[in-house]
Amino acid sequence: MTVKTAWITGATAGFGAATVERFVTGGWRVIASGRRAERLQQLADRHGADKVHAAAFDIRDEAALRAAVAGLPPDFAGIDLLVNNAGLALGTAPAQQADLVQWKQMIDTNVTALATVTHLLLPGLIERRGAIVNISSIAGSYPYRGGNVYGGTKAFVSQFSQNLRTDLHGTGVRVTSIEPGMAETEFTLVRTSGDQAASDQLYAGAHPITAGDIADTIWWIANLPPHLNVNRLELMPTSQSAAGLQVHRD
């Protein structure tokens, strides 16, 4: 059987790291990217350089991204699946108190870099009738206090996914937007600039989604028969649901 290859961005932690494990144990080759080189190297050491190719770079750096694509070993050069997972939220302050530098970092990572990777890999994905899984969020559909730019970037990811589907009509390339709710990863640690207590408090007693749940979901989508496309998939922990509107009174 032909061995398939996935490029998983944001592979150093959370959803991405769990997805690397799921796909490698399922027999795929994986290109694992992220900034923390030592974590990627651990993955390659654990599974072997023939199974995991570590590509350490900042996904906002287009020259580094292009060099990583150009430098793929021949066995990893034909990509069947792109998992656009690298992303982050920074800050929980309302828009009027938020940090503009953090806003720009979220846009550069969650929007610009995701679109750039996709643009670079699309010709090869079309050639191989491959698939794209974009990690969006419920934050792109439901507003919440402090969600401002983060939610905006994820609305982009969801809509970009649906528009890609339309443009790729007839190519055989499948595109899915996965939109998870609360999941326990390093996400809140990053969002709060390293506040472990805030992260622990958020997830305590909530039985959040796990990184393994998302890895299994991506695995399921990637292995559906070629005539089936999951357009978008929203997941929440059972403990989470949408809360209504608000009214301010004088």
Catalytic residue numbers, as ranges: 150
Q: What region, left, alpha or beta, does residue 47 occupy, with left being phi > 0 and alpha being psi -120 to 50 degrees? A: alpha
At closest approach, how far in Å is the CB of 155 from ligand 8X3?
11
CB under 8 Å to 127, separation ≥6 — which residues? none
Residue 139 binds ligand 8X3, judged by CB under 6 A? yes
Residue 16 binds ligand NDP, judged by CB under 6 A? yes
Residue 83 binds ligand NDP, judged by CB under 6 A? no
Residue 216 binds ligand NDP, judged by CB under 6 A? no
Residue 138 binds ligand 8X3, judged by CB under 6 A? yes
At closest approach, how far in Å is the CB of 18 from ligand 8X3?
16
CB under 8 Å to 107, separation ≥6 — which residues? 149, 153
**Of 181, 211, 218, 222, the one binding ligand 8X3 by CB under 6 A:** 181
- Ranges of H-type helices in 128-186: 148-167
Residue 85 binds ligand 8X3, judged by CB under 6 A? no
Q: Nearest to residue 56, comparing CAs of 68, 46, 66? A: 68
Q: Work out the angle at residue 222's Cα, subtended by the Cα atoms of residues 210 and 74, and round it to the nearest 5 degrees.
A: 110
Residue 237 binds ligand 8X3, judged by CB under 6 A? no
Kindly indicate which of the ranges 21-29, 62-70, 182-190, 237-245 contains the residues binding ligand NDP, using the contact rule CB under 6 A.
182-190
Tell me the Cα Rg of the chain. Answer: 18
Q: What region, left, alpha or beta, does residue 91 occupy, with left being phi > 0 and alpha being psi -120 to 50 degrees? A: left
**Of 186, 213, 216, 234, the one binding ligand NDP by CB under 6 A:** 186
Residue 5 or 188 with smaller CB distance to ligand NDP: 188
Q: Nearest to residue 90, comparing CAs of 189, 196, 236? A: 189
Residues forming the site for ligand NDP (CB under 6 A): 10-16, 34-36, 58-60, 85-88, 109, 135, 137, 180, 182-183, 185-187, 190
Residues forming the site for ligand 8X3 (CB under 6 A): 137-139, 147, 181-182
